Chain A
């Protein structure tokens, strides 16, 4: 019984992180049709900011966390302004390739300008301590992560339902031109989308750093890949889909870890992706979208 509860906790925290990452990708895609592969590098920006904070001897955890989230947000908005604006109204493929290019450039800039080697980030170690709870040993980090993600999701829902900017973002996902025709500035909507994705990346960065303890130029690759898979599973571009996809991915990963015999231990990734493959065969458009009549687009 305790084992099951423990695994559920694991699945929740894994899922929470993937959901957070997936949301960052989904919000940009739903509005702009852009698969932002550079999202991983935004996370790395947060990580390197933490390094900078440590170098400046600013070890107050609130400052470190705040700086990381701030840097990630600014980084995301800057990327939009500089790299993505020229291809804003181009087809999704152009945007995807641009994002790929930006991602490679940033990874190599980190390599070039900072260091090819991992740099330790210890200021967040305090976040992790074991909490004994009803016979379970939960990591505090897991708890924080799950709670934070839930709060983030609630806040986002409120934002999207209650604020004009949120409304325009939802409308833009369906008919961007019409949003412009009601007088709402395109720049504002796009910048907002990227700002939100930057904030989400920054929050995810905090948890990733707390667990990893170090940052390197290719830090962003694995997270963005998982985010991408989670989005595909849930139906690319759908925000609830991103959340469901993230939690589902977390659940599958934990299930594989648990179910696979010891001898196949290192194969979890392969099995996870294998399950995803089966899912895609069944529902190529993702879980949330019902199997569509081929040939009709949005």
Chain B
């Protein structure tokens, strides 16, 4: 298969990013404390979510606000399938449809979770793909709220805001790094594929693209489902590591956090997704440390609860006002190394 020039560049770029991800993973594994390891894992899960977001938002140029919901669907679906029966009988005593009477191995559970998420994504996507910019965003927000309230409502299946525990913790940082690396290739690959290119062209000018025979709605649907599948994987990675999930992380705060990561780095590029994720993941940890009123150089800093929120919000507002394209704008990582 011969690759076009941009596809070759994409391969280089993805490999560069993969290298960075592997390096960070290795450094963390060798030098990080248990606590720091958890944070790094969390940032890799966030990266998966942000990459999934990028594949849709960066190509279709539509803001999606429902991504945390799909991550939740994937997480819960896998969790329900994989948790041992003994655990489920305790945590979900009144589960319907015999959900607490079976347990599958992690791989099968993951596959089922992905399929379920993909089907739901397809159904919702059929409506969403036909809507224009802000309309699609608004509906996606409605989806977020609806899915969240479903999580809260059927506590017999989901346990609502209480912890759904007992998920076998089969993932380590290595697993997360591997998945993230694969995702980088997938997402970058889509961007440089003919679908990605066609989608971006039609995002800028829908009517001309349609006139040229591009089926905009189908392309959008494709990107949407791909995005949701990746989100499901992120959700699975989340539950397979933590062993416990609840409905709370799959709602507004998470939406906002991951959106900030993508926007800061620049939603048009995969490099932007990676950059923004790490900047905010680690930056936020630092701000949170500041929040607790630490001792620095003999001075006691005051407790400033809420600082992280102010910083995060300000980042979004400033980026939108001053540099809406994010730090990377339209440039990928290989642009720094390869000549034009």
- A touching B, CB within 8 angstroms: yes
Across the interface, A101 reaches (CB within 8 A) one of B62, B207, B217, B317, namely: B317
| Interchain CA distance A97-B257 in the complex, whole Å | 12
Decide if B142 touches A277 in the complex (CB within 8 Å).
yes
Known: A105-B314, A111-B305, A276-B142. A94 touches B135 (CB 8 A): no
Stretch at the interface among A55-63, A155-163, A173-181, A279-287: A279-287
| Interchain CA distance A108-B312 in the complex, whole Å | 10
Stretch at the interface among A143-151, A228-236, A239-247: A228-236
**Residues of chain B with a CB closer than 8 A to A87's CB:** 320-321, 324
**Highest count of chain A CB atoms <10 Å: which of B127, B137, B142:** B142
**Residues of chain B with a CB closer than 8 A to A269's CB:** 149, 152-153
Known: A104-B312, A112-B304, A284-B130. A93 touches B135 (CB 8 A): no
Nearest-CB residue, chain A, relative to B129: A294
**Residues of chain B with a CB closer than 8 A to A281's CB:** 127
Decide if A35 touches B149 in the complex (CB within 8 Å).
no
**Residues of chain A with a CB closer than 8 A to B146's CB:** 273-274, 276-277
Known: A92-B134, A236-B138. A100 touches B316 (CB 8 A): yes
B interface, by DSSP: helix, strand, loop or mixed?
helix
Kindly identify, within residues 39 to 69 of chain B, every residue whose CB is under 8 Å from any CB belonging to chain A.
62-63
Asked if A107 is at the interface of the complex by the 8 Å CB criterion, the answer is yes
Known: A98-B321, A104-B313, A276-B142. A270 touches B306 (CB 8 A): no
Chain A contact-residue range equals 35 or more
| Interchain CA distance A35-B141 in the complex, whole Å | 12
Asked if B338 is at the interface of the complex by the 8 Å CB criterion, the answer is no
Across the interface, A104 reaches (CB within 8 A) one of B143, B217, B256, B305, namely: B256
**Residues of chain B with a CB closer than 8 A to A284's CB:** 127, 130-131, 135, 139
Nearest-CB residue, chain B, relative to A217: B306
Asked if A119 is at the interface of the complex by the 8 Å CB criterion, the answer is no
| Interchain CA distance A104-B313 in the complex, whole Å | 5
Decide if B316 touches A97 in the complex (CB within 8 Å).
yes
Asked if A130 is at the interface of the complex by the 8 Å CB criterion, the answer is no
Kindly identify, within residues 178 to 220 of chain B, every residue whose CB is under 8 Å from any CB belonging to chain A.
206-207, 210, 217
Kindly identify, within residues 229 to 268 of chain B, every residue whose CB is under 8 Å from any CB belonging to chain A.
252, 256, 259-260, 263
Q: A105-B310, A232-B138, A297-B132 are in contact. List 5 more A-B contacts (CB 8 A).
A: A35-B138, A101-B317, A229-B142, A274-B149, A277-B142
Footprint of A on B, CB under 8 Å? Answer: 62-63, 127, 130-135, 137-139, 141-143, 145-146, 149-150, 152-154, 206-207, 210, 217, 252, 256, 259-260, 263, 304-310, 312-317, 320-322, 324
What are 17 A-B contacts defined by CB distance under 8 Å?
A87-B324, A92-B133, A93-B63, A98-B316, A98-B320, A108-B310, A229-B145, A232-B138, A236-B134, A236-B138, A269-B149, A270-B154, A273-B146, A276-B146, A280-B139, A295-B206, A297-B132
Considering the complex of A and B, which 7 residue pairs feature the smallest CB-CB distances, nearest first? A108-B309, A101-B316, A105-B313, A270-B153, A104-B313, A111-B306, A86-B321
